[in-house]
Amino acid sequence: MFIYLPLIIVGVLLLITGILILLDYVFGGSSEKQITLNNDTKLTVTGDDFVLSTLAANKIFIPSACGGKATCGLCKFRLVDDVPKVKPTEEPFLSKEEIADGVRLSCQVKVKDKMKIILPESLLTAKEFKTVVTEIEELTYDIKRVRFELKDPKTVDFKPGQFMQIKVPGIDVIRAYSLASDPSHTNYVEMLIRLVPKGQATTYVHKALRVGDKAILTGPYGDFFLQEDSDKPIVCIAGGSGKAPIRSILFRLKEMGMSRKVQYFFGAKSLKDLYYTEEFEALQKEYPNFEYIPALSLPDENDNWTGEKGLITEVLDRKTGDLTDYEAYLCGSPGMIKACINVLNKHKIKTENVFFDEF
Ligand SMILES: Cc1cc2nc3c(=O)[nH]c(=O)nc-3n(C[C@H](O)[C@H](O)[C@H](O)COP(=O)(O)OP(=O)(O)OC[C@H]3O[C@@H](n4cnc5c(N)ncnc54)[C@H](O)[C@@H]3O)c2cc1C
Ligand code: FES
């Protein structure tokens, strides 16, 4: 009798699994569900996955820089009616007002029948692009420029400052990168990718990605972009790979004739962290309205650095006057951005004229 016991246990487990699959099918798991998007679009979806992946399967791409692990907070959406209790994983990313307003993380909420969801219209234009890596350039010891040529669709329209997501080939993790290229070149995009020690995506990009590799991109995303209908003078501030979206913004300003006064502060530690120096110095020579101000906080003795020295906040404080009528575009680490905004506030910038992306 005992020799049959394992067989009996396996049989019972298989029977329970079969019943569960059947119940799941009958009571909703695999059945069709109706979703209403932005009060009018009706979507029929299947499965009981999370809203993020379910919408992606239906070609609606919500930004998700952490790939659904509840660590980036980018995948917000709003639910109308039947709003689930906020999960502890969502709490760090949602304000009290957002929670009360039905905002949740789409990677944490499972799709339900008759769900009514609201997404910003700007997200509905994000697409999936099949691309091929056509250039990889080492800009510094830890930053690479990667060009992705778009194959299907073949062109993209993005606003300078926006970002796209890449499903890193080979490891399939999803990460967000700002677009560093000229927005008027619509058949490719470029990203400046800084190696993060032990970082999954960046280690792959720096050590294994090769010209000719295929990659899937989605986007464009983000509300950090150049206000093109403004004529206010501009202060740009960046550190590290934060140079990426500012480069794209400067391409556009150049195309517009650089009629606005632009001061660009770039903070780095030492000379080996500076890049695109010649490109921005050439721009400075061409346009008297544009000033490039690289600053080193810890130059090496051998750097023979004669430019600005000190933290970027100190240099910004020294070199700017009254900023009441200015716009500011900042990109870098959260700490750098917070400290720089304090300096901008000291110089009377208006909060509504400060735009930033932190990473
Ligand atoms: C909107 C947006 C735009 C971005 N644009 C760019 C860009 O233009 N260029 C760019 O290089 N990156 C950019 N990033 C950051 C990028 O998405 C990744 O987070 C970063 O490249 C690390 O990915 P990883 O997989 O290598 O590291 P992970 O495997 O995700 O992380 C490894 C470890 O490093 C830590 N870590 C994660 N990110 C950083 C970081 N940035 N600095 C220090 N430690 C970190 C993590 O806490 C973790 O402990 C952007 C992020 C966002 C949200
Ligand atoms: S995808 Fe990053 S928090 Fe949801």
C-alpha of residue 103 to centroid of ligand 2, in Å: 13
Domain that holds residue 259: 234-358
Q: What mean pLDDT value characterizes the chain?
A: 93
Same domain, 260 and 307: yes
Domain-embedded: residue 108 = yes
Helix (H, G, I), strand (E, B) or coil at 355: strand
Instruction: Verify whether ligand 1 is closer than 6 Å to residue 178 (CB atom).
Output: yes
Indicate whether 26 pLDDT > 70: no
Same domain, 238 and 354: yes
Same domain, 156 and 250: no
CA–CA gap between residue 264 and residue 340 (Å, rounded): 13
pLDDT over 90 for what percent of the chain?
A: 83
Atom of ligand 2 nearest to the CA of 63: 1
| pLDDT digit string, tens, across residues 122-176 | 888 899 999 999 999 999 999 999 999 999 999 999 999 999 999 988 888 899 9
Give the residues surrounding ligand 2 with Cβ less than 6 Å away: 64-66, 68, 70-75, 105, 107
pTM: 0.88
Listed residues 122, 152, 173: the one ending a domain: 122
Atom of ligand 2 nearest to the CA of 73: 3
Same domain, 69 and 96: yes
pLDDT band at 4 (very low <50, low <70, confident <90, very high): confident
Q: Which ligand is nearest to the CA of 105?
A: 2
With contact defined as beta carbons under 8 Å apart, do 93 and 76 qualify? Answer: yes
Q: Nearest C-alpha to atom 26 of ligand 1 is from which residue? A: 199
CA–CA gap between residue 189 and residue 24 (Å, rounded): 43
The pLDDT value given to residue 108: 97
Same domain, 352 and 277: yes
pLDDT over 70 for what percent of the chain?
A: 96
C-alpha of residue 86 to centroid of ligand 1, in Å: 26
Listed residues 87, 106, 122: the one ending a domain: 122
Instruction: Verify whether ligand 1 is closer than 6 Å to residue 174 (CB atom).
Output: no
| pLDDT digit string, tens, across residues 55-110 | 999 999 999 988 899 999 999 999 998 899 999 999 999 999 999 999 999 999 99
The pLDDT value given to residue 7: 78
With contact defined as beta carbons under 8 Å apart, do 78 and 101 qualify? Answer: yes
With contact defined as beta carbons under 8 Å apart, do 116 and 53 qualify? Answer: no
Instruction: Verify whether ligand 1 is closer than 6 Å to residue 35 (CB atom).
Output: no
The token pair that represents 214 in the structure block: 């295929």
The pLDDT value given to residue 60: 93
CA–CA gap between residue 265 and residue 262 (Å, rounded): 10
In 47-187, the DSSP E strands lie at 76-80, 103-105, 115-118, 127-138, 143-152, 163-167, 174-178
Domain-embedded: residue 14 = no
Same domain, 348 and 242: yes
Same domain, 245 and 148: no
The pLDDT value given to residue 250: 98
Same domain, 143 and 194: yes
C-alpha of residue 242 to centroid of ligand 2, in Å: 21
| pLDDT digit string, tens, across residues 190-231 | 999 999 999 999 999 999 999 999 999 999 999 999 999 999
Indicate whether 337 pLDDT > 90: yes
The pLDDT value given to residue 277: 96
Atom of ligand 2 nearest to the CA of 65: 2
Indicate whether 28 pLDDT > 60: no
C-alpha of residue 76 to centroid of ligand 2, in Å: 8
Helix (H, G, I), strand (E, B) or coil at 41: strand
The pLDDT value given to residue 185: 98
The token pair that represents 74 in the structure block: 């980018």
Domain-embedded: residue 27 = no
Indicate whether 23 pLDDT > 90: no
Average pLDDT over residues 247-257: 97
SS3 content of the chain, % helix, strand, coil (to 5): 30, 30, 40
Atom of ligand 2 nearest to the CA of 66: 2
C-alpha of residue 359 to centroid of ligand 1, in Å: 6
Same domain, 240 and 336: yes
Domain-embedded: residue 76 = yes
Domain-embedded: residue 85 = yes
Domain-embedded: residue 1 = no
Same domain, 166 and 269: no
C-alpha of residue 296 to centroid of ligand 1, in Å: 23
CATH of the domain at 312: 3.40.50.80
Q: Nearest C-alpha to atom 43 of ligand 1 is from which residue? A: 196
Instruction: Verify whether ligand 1 is closer than 6 Å to residue 177 (CB atom).
Output: yes
Q: Looking at per-residue confidence, does 114 or 169 come out higher?
A: 114
Of 102, 109, 104, 114, the residue nearest 50 (C-alpha): 109
Domain count, the chain: 3
The pLDDT value given to residue 24: 60
Domain-embedded: residue 131 = yes
Same domain, 310 and 216: no
Domain-embedded: residue 12 = no
Query: Which of 105, 173, 218, 221 is the best mutation target for the ligand 2 pocket, counting ligand atoms within 8 Å of the beta carbon and taking the most?
Result: 105
Atom of ligand 1 nearest to the CA of 193: 11
Tell the residue number behind the tokens 């470029």, with chain if given. Answer: 190
Average pLDDT over residues 275-286: 97
Instruction: Verify whether ligand 1 is closer than 6 Å to residue 193 (CB atom).
Output: yes
Indicate whether 25 pLDDT > 90: no
C-alpha of residue 324 to centroid of ligand 1, in Å: 33
Listed residues 95, 122, 149: the one ending a domain: 122
CATH of the domain at 81: 3.10.20.30
Atom of ligand 1 nearest to the CA of 244: 8
Average pLDDT over residues 34-41: 92
CA–CA gap between residue 90 and residue 73 (Å, rounded): 8
Same domain, 147 and 255: no
CA–CA gap between residue 314 and residue 61 (Å, rounded): 40
Average pLDDT over residues 310-332: 97
CATH of the domain at 130: 2.40.30.10
With contact defined as beta carbons under 8 Å apart, do 176 and 344 qualify? Answer: no
C-alpha of residue 236 to centroid of ligand 2, in Å: 28
CA–CA gap between residue 188 and residue 192 (Å, rounded): 14
Of 240, 199, 179, the residue nearest 71 (C-alpha): 199
Other beta carbons within 10 Å of 271? 17
Atom of ligand 2 nearest to the CA of 67: 1
